[in-house]
Amino acid sequence: MRTPSLDRGAQRSRGDFWRGLGPPETGRELALRVLHRVEREGAFANIALQAALARSSLSEAERELATELVLGVLRWRARLDWTLQANCGRPLGELPPAIRQVLRMGAYQVLFLQRVPAAVAVSSGVDLAKRYGHRGTAALVNAVLRRVAREGEAALPQAPDHRLAVLGSHPLWLVRRWLTRWPQDEVRALCKANNTPPTAHVRVNTLRASPSAVADRLARAGLEVERGALPESLRVRGPLGPRLTLAEEGWIVAQDEAAMVVAHAVDPQPGELVVDACAAPGGKATHLAALMGDQGRVVACDVHPRKVEVLARRARVLGAGCVEARRCDARSLDVRGAHRVLVDAPCTGLGVVRRRPEIRWRVQPEDLPRAAAVQREILLGASRAVREGGVLVYSVCSTEPEEGEGVVQWIVASGGFMPEPFRVPWGDGTLEAQDGTLRLWPHRHGTDGYFVARLRRT
């Protein structure tokens, strides 16, 4: 019987792709399946990869290879496609989706993974093409990957913007936007940072332990630990197991330092009523509780019941008794008289592409005004919960002004709020937001790309 083929994807439903094939036999095959789900089904790479690894019985080396291939192909897709297209007699977009991913995986191994011999990268790609395609696609993969192994990367485009988009592996439309705001060196540095795996940070839950106690325990478990830029932040390197154990015990939360800055911008005080209008999964809400010493109320809202359950469970684990998980649409909050309200709004996520590299290929220019419209609705609804003289903090993990400065300018123009300067601790000094807004960047601060604004109800 002929092996089921992904080439007939138009005739098969999503769930039928792997039927009859059994579990993936190699890390490369697992990576192929994850990449196919990400591109064809819109799956999130980190979630799809974790789920696939959890079901897998592959060796640790194969699991590490699968992770490297998934993230590497997604990060460097534009650069890989440029070279592949130069060596392929057909447009890549016309190839069967699985074969396109096989080519990308093979090219990534040839061009970026020096530990993998080129012959192995080519032969393993041909094997996958036979299994998920047919004799013709296997011959195509063999010919294209051999050319790439022999000739290396294709010559880059001449136009500066196109050249930078290929070299930095970002969408051309996004690179062109950035070039209107910054010089080429700055854009190049941002692209480089977005393609560099981020350093792991954890936020110490000061309701359970001190930073020094957590650092000592992680160090005893064999991890390298350094002081972070914020008082409750630690940079860690080493095995994941000890971090998971401490997280389960409520000592730490895996959180980027930019996200920690948001809670400091809110600056909650003990005994206050604080609202986190878009709170799931609860990292910022529980951070607010810790900064308040668990004294007062943190009303943590989300519109999805399941996320509210996760939020409540996290608050219990972290000992944040003042957090009240509540199902509520932020556009119609039923809370009034809050001292402080945080709106960490849903956005395009263009500030976190170093963690979720597939985002850069999904977001399109027309998504920005659509996201901003939703953000304005949420911010307007949540602003009604702020008492006179109270604080409203708005944040998004996006690099683009439509989702940041533009939304804040709109709410200020609507009346009732004025930007308020603020500062947050950072290293041995502070980050200053003299106009009430703060931008954090991967290439400047080593964080996710974030926008934070603080407003005062007049």
> In sequence order, what DSSP letters do the residues of 237-278 get, joined into one string?
ES-SHHHHHHHHTTSEEE--HHHHHHHHHH---TT-EEEETT
Q: Are 437 and 401 in contact (CB under 8 A)?
A: no
Dist. CA 172–CA 11, nearest whole Å: 32
Handedness of CA 396, 51, 65, 59 (dihedral sign): positive
164 Cβ contact partners less than 8 Å away, ≥ 6 residues apart? 175, 179, 184, 187, 188, 191
Dist. CA 136–CA 56, nearest whole Å: 30
Dist. CA 205–CA 219, nearest whole Å: 17
Buried b (16+ CB within 10 A) or exposed e, 63-73: bebbbbbbbbb
> In sequence order, what DSSP letters do the residues of 189-223 get, joined into one string?
HHHHHHTSPPPEEEEE-TTT--HHHHHHHHHHTT-
88 in catalytic set: no
Q: Which of 88, 322, 328, 397 is catalytic?
A: 397
Active site residues: 397
